[in-house]
Amino acid sequence: MTLLWIALSASACLSEISLASRALQGGEARRAAEILEPAATKCPSSPEVFDLLGISSDLLGRTSQAQQAFRRAIELDPRAPRPRTNLATSLMREGKESDALSELETAVRLEPSNAAANANLGAIFTQRREYERALRYFEAAGGEKSAGLSADPRLLVQLAECLLATGRQKRALDLLPAPSARHPASLRFSLGVLLARNGLYREAIVQLESIPGSDADAAVCFNLGLAHSRLRRHAAARRWYFAAIDRDPQHADAYFHVGLDYAESGDGPRAIPWFFRARRMDPRRAEILYALSEELIAGRYFQTAGALLADSAGTPLLETAKGDCELGQHRIAEAESHYRRALELDPSLAAGTIGLARALAAAEKRPEALEELRRLLAREPANTTALAEAGRLELESGDWKAALGRLERAWTADPGKTQVGLDLARCYRRSGQPGRALELLLSLRVKGADGGFYYYELARVYTDLKRPADAEREMREVQRIEKAGQEALRFVPPAIYIH
């Protein structure tokens, strides 16, 4: 009788396992649970019943019950990898990464080809930024050819992150879904942010622009703006920032970045109102006040900038802005004091070092200024502002060769800065390359205070090229600008910005 009962019990378990499996495959987790709960009593020694009961309970949000069922399945069959993998997946959703890791590593030892366990191990090590190790697990799960990885947005993004972090850019780009393919907006957004973080702004734009308009919220529009800004497509960037503001009128970062884009384009007067709006929305952020102060200083609104900065906490960045405000008013000793205070608070602050170098140069301490810039460039060799400042000082010292190298690097990295272009043109002319100087000058768009220097340099270049008529024409332009400047001196520029 005992043998007969065991046989009948096993037969019943197989039947219920089959019915529950079909219910789960059809998305009927509740129906599966209704079958499996009594089966667990009827078949208390069946690891398959408890594993399926864990799956159905997990799908129904009964996490504690699910994990209890998975653990019972493991007790009944310690060498079965699937219950361990399912338990680990449930633990990962609860943030219990260490417990999940132990179960997954055991599952992989039991079954090295276990795709789900390998993929989840890849996910854990990606989160830990152990990318080479994570990639080995993803590849054991099938890598780019794995249907499971491609179907899971989270794993797809993590695989792409591993590939980019380990220098396998082509493989990462080949993994990206085509713009026409239908994918969740969350996947497109995550890929777009990941690509932008890795400097792949064009590819980021493709992913973000593939999100349907109905799903494109303020975050999508804002990140599209950031990507276009990085590519110096300022008009396109501002359109996306405006779209972000339309969707979220309190999006302080969108207002801030509209201002940054206008400032980067050389349009400080338009930048200032946007910075003021951003600051009203988020008055605690030092970087917003710093950007606002710098544009006010550039517009010679010293009183307004000084009042704003006087009420602010002395952060390294704002101490630097205070130094810039003093230097703009030719109060060199006070400026130097603020810059040194900023560097006491943060010795690595590039803006503070550059400000100090400018103050030292204004005090006729050019060697000390150059030494500050050289130390900064030893730490940050690609800092374009430091390169431009050092190049200008070397140019004024007559060291054309050193100046030329620095100014060319600064111009190549950031060809939008007019003053850098003018300095590089001067360097070309003084080093006997008037043809290159002319080509560069004609490519510049010069306005405002730079105009007189521009036409004067152009006249000097034409003189070197033996083109006296052209040189004379440019000198007439210099004289016209000087006359207009003298007439303007009758009016005292306002030191207060009305907003």
CATH of the domain at 235: 1.25.40.10
| Phi, psi angles (nearest 5°) of residue 162 | -60, -45
- CA-CA-CA-CA torsion sign (455, 457, 463, 464): negative
Task: Report residue 4's pLDDT band, with 50, 70 and 90 as the boundaries.
Answer: very low
Contact between residue 255 and residue 286 where contact means Cβ atoms under 8 Å apart: no
pLDDT for 59 beyond 60: yes
- How many residues in the chain? 499
Give the mean model confidence (pLDDT) for residues 395-423: 89
Closest CA to 177 of 166, 165, 189, 162: 189
- Look at residue 255 and tell me if it is in a domain: yes
**pLDDT at 450 (0 to 100):** 55
**pLDDT at 12 (0 to 100):** 56
* Per-residue pLDDT tens over the stretch 33-54: 888 888 888 888 888 888 898 8
CA distance 312 to 308: 7
Task: Report residue 390's pLDDT band, with 50, 70 and 90 as the boundaries.
Answer: very high
- Look at residue 477 and tell me if it is in a domain: yes
| Of 58-62, 94-98, 342-346, 451-455, the least confident | 451-455
pLDDT for 309 beyond 90: yes
C-beta neighbour count of 436 within 10 angstroms:
16
- Look at residue 149 and tell me if it is in a domain: no
- Look at residue 323 and tell me if it is in a domain: no
Q: Using CA atoms of 382, 388, 394, 395 in order, give the dihedral in degrees to the nearest 10.
A: 140
- Look at residue 480 and tell me if it is in a domain: yes
| Of 155-164, 204-213, 486-495, the least confident | 486-495
Helix intervals (H) in 329-433: 332-345, 350-362, 366-379, 384-396, 400-413, 418-430
Closest CA to 327 of 361, 350, 371, 288: 361
**pLDDT at 362 (0 to 100):** 96
| Of 110-119, 237-246, 447-456, the least confident | 447-456
Contact between residue 191 and residue 203 where contact means Cβ atoms under 8 Å apart: no
**pLDDT at 437 (0 to 100):** 92
pLDDT for 146 beyond 50: yes
Rounded to the nearest integer, the mean pLDDT of the chain is: 89
- Look at residue 262 and tell me if it is in a domain: yes
pLDDT for 27 beyond 90: no
Look-up of token digits 């730079």: 450
C-beta neighbour count of 378 within 10 angstroms:
8
**pLDDT at 453 (0 to 100):** 83
Cβ-based neighbours of 70, under 8 Å, separated by 6 or more: 50, 51, 54, 83, 84, 86, 87, 90
Three-state DSSP class for 112?
coil
- Look at residue 16 and tell me if it is in a domain: no
Task: Report residue 451's pLDDT band, with 50, 70 and 90 as the boundaries.
Answer: low
CA distance 341 to 323: 9
Element (H, E) at 322: helix 316-328
Degrees (nearest 5) of the Cα angle 442, 443, 448? Answer: 85
CA distance 118 to 141: 5
Helix intervals (H) in 141-217: 147-151, 153-165, 169-175, 185-197, 201-209
**pLDDT at 488 (0 to 100):** 45
Cβ-based neighbours of 73, under 8 Å, separated by 6 or more: 47, 48, 50, 51, 54, 80, 83
CA distance 44 to 52: 13
Please count the structural domains in the chain: 2
CA distance 75 to 79: 9
- CA-CA-CA-CA torsion sign (137, 141, 142, 144): negative
pLDDT for 495 beyond 80: no
Q: Domain end: 209, 239, 267, which one?
A: 267
Q: Domain end: 267, 283, 316, which one?
A: 267
Which region holds residue 177: left if phi is over 0, alpha if psi is between -120 and 50, else beta? beta
**pLDDT at 283 (0 to 100):** 92
**pLDDT at 14 (0 to 100):** 83
The CA distances from residue 138 to 271, 461, 478, in Å, are 47, 61, 66
**pLDDT at 151 (0 to 100):** 78
CA distance 437 to 423: 10
Burial of 401 (0-12, 13-18, 19+ CB in 10 A): exposed
Closest CA to 169 of 196, 140, 200, 141: 200
Crossing angle between the packed helical segments 47-59 and 29-42, to the nearest 10 degrees: 150
CA distance 121 to 105: 8
Single-letter residue type at 371: E
Task: Report residue 1's pLDDT band, with 50, 70 and 90 as the boundaries.
Answer: very low
C-beta neighbour count of 4 within 10 angstroms:
8
Helix intervals (H) in 96-142: 97-110, 115-127, 131-140
Q: Domain end: 267, 297, 329, which one?
A: 267
CA distance 233 to 378: 31
Cβ-based neighbours of 41, under 8 Å, separated by 6 or more: none
Closest CA to 462 of 416, 425, 409, 499: 425
Q: Which domain holds residue 486?
A: 411-490
For the chain, counts of helices (H) and of strands (E): 29, 0
CA distance 320 to 290: 9
**pLDDT at 134 (0 to 100):** 93
- Look at residue 439 and tell me if it is in a domain: yes
% of residues, the chain, pLDDT over 70: 93
**pLDDT at 496 (0 to 100):** 66
pLDDT for 344 beyond 90: yes
pLDDT for 20 beyond 50: yes
Higher pLDDT among residues 449 and 323, named by residue: 323
Contact between residue 343 and residue 353 where contact means Cβ atoms under 8 Å apart: yes
Higher pLDDT among residues 472 and 5, named by residue: 472
